[in-house]
Structures are given as structure tokens and as C-alpha cells.
A and B are shown apart, each in its own frame.
Chain A
Amino acid sequence: NAGVTQTPKFRILKIGQSMTLQCTQDMNHNYMYWYRQDPGMGLKLIYYSVGAGITDKGEVPNGYNVSRSTTEDFPLRLELAAPSQTSVYFCASSYGGRANYGYTFGSGTRLTVV
């Protein structure tokens, strides 16, 4: 009963490097989300997807890209890492957009850009 799995758990990047944060869920949820959480702040939505092949921008999409080729996977891509992208990233999923049972969150990826 894995739920939402994120990898890696920690990563240090140099400015200008690129990387992909992986997220996979095994609950057959159609909605998936990427959030970032900065210290002392709430979670802010980066991108979301309502189903395979469909993605849309959230509140803070600049500097990120996503794809959703399957129901299970929703990777987040950073093309040119910047110090402002130092944050903790959470992937989440839900069955439907109305969060009737809450969102299920992954355990997070702590990213530091130096």
C-alpha cells in the first residue's frame, strides 16, 4: 500500500543544473499535484494534472515543467536550477478535484540549489 512515492528524498544542485523530481501513485487517482513549501509558508501549487495527457499551471509555475504520460506518474522538471527554487517539494494526488477524502501527499523532496 505505497500511496504516493517521491524520489529522491534529498538533492543538492548547482545553479544552472537540471533535474527531475519523480512522483508515482498506485491509488488510481486521476488528479495529481506538485506543491512547494518554503520555511514558515504554506504550500503553493506549481502544476497540476486532471488526468493522463492533461496538465495545467498552478500559482507558481515559472522555472518548472511537468508531463503526465500515465495515470501513475507525474514528474516535475527543473531545467535551469536557481537558488529561489530551494524548497521542499510535495507531490499529491486525489480522486477527483473536490478532495472528498483529502489529498494524499508524498513524503517530500528537499532540494537545495547552491
Chain B
Amino acid sequence: EDKVVQSPLSLVVHEGDTVTLNCSYEVTNFRSLLWYKQEKKAPTFLFMLTSSGIEKKSGRLSSILDKKELFSILNITATQTGDSAIYLCAVLGLAYSGAGSYQLTFGKGTKLSVIP
């Protein structure tokens, strides 16, 4: 059965700090790793990573994947209060025995709180 483990589970920082969120995984037939940001409602898509060592960047957020060590990190620089959210890591693979197609397995998320 596929597993996705995120750490830390929660984090409190001050505005302006830089944070690193971690995601490790064990997946059958790995296809890609995705990061989502979840505020009060639906998760919104941030990045999809398929290749090791290639950084994806969007403004103050960046992410990289290491397929050899089976982990990914999400960095947020110069944090703002608007970055407060739950960050979900999900891996696309054959999630469980009997799965008919590739599925996303989600981690429990990291709850980030940015205080002024």
C-alpha cells in the first residue's frame, strides 16, 4: 500500500521567515508528486514534479524532488500571513492492490501558521 508521510505536521513561524516542508513516500509505480495548498476549502494545485533535481518555482514557493531518496521538499521564502494554510503532498501511483488506474495518495498535510 502506498504511503506518503509529511513533516512537520504543524509549524508556526513569523512573517519573513523561510520554511521547508518535507514529504517522503513509498509508492508502487511512481508517476509524479504533487503539492497542494488548502486554505478553508478545496485544495488548490501548486506544483507537479516528475523528474529528480529539477526545481519548480512560483514566486516565493519552490519545490524539488529526489526520486532516489524518495522525498520532496516545498520551500517558502519571506513568508506572509496569507501563506497560512495546510500544505498537502500527494503522490500519483498504483495506490493499492487492485487499483485499476493510477491514483493520488495524500499525506496528512503540514499546517503552517504565519504570525505577524
- Residues of A whose CB lies within 8 Å of any CB of B are 4, 35, 40-45, 48, 50, 56, 58-59, 90, 97-108
Contacts and interface: CB of A to CB of B under 8 A. Distances in A.
- Give the interface residue-count category, chain B: 20 to 34
B11 to A, nearest CB: 15
A97 B32 CA distance: 11
Interface of B: 4, 9, 31-32, 34, 36, 41-45, 48, 88, 90, 92, 95-96, 100-109
A42 B32 CA distance: 17
Contact of B42 (A41, A58, A106): A106
A44 B107 CA distance: 10
A30 B9 CA distance: 34
Contacts of A104: 45
- Best-buried of B9, B42, B108 by chain A (most CB within 10 Å): B42
Given A97-B102, A99-B48, A105-B42, 9 more contacts: A40-B9, A48-B101, A48-B103, A97-B101, A98-B31, A99-B92, A99-B102, A102-B45, A102-B48
Nearest to B42: A105
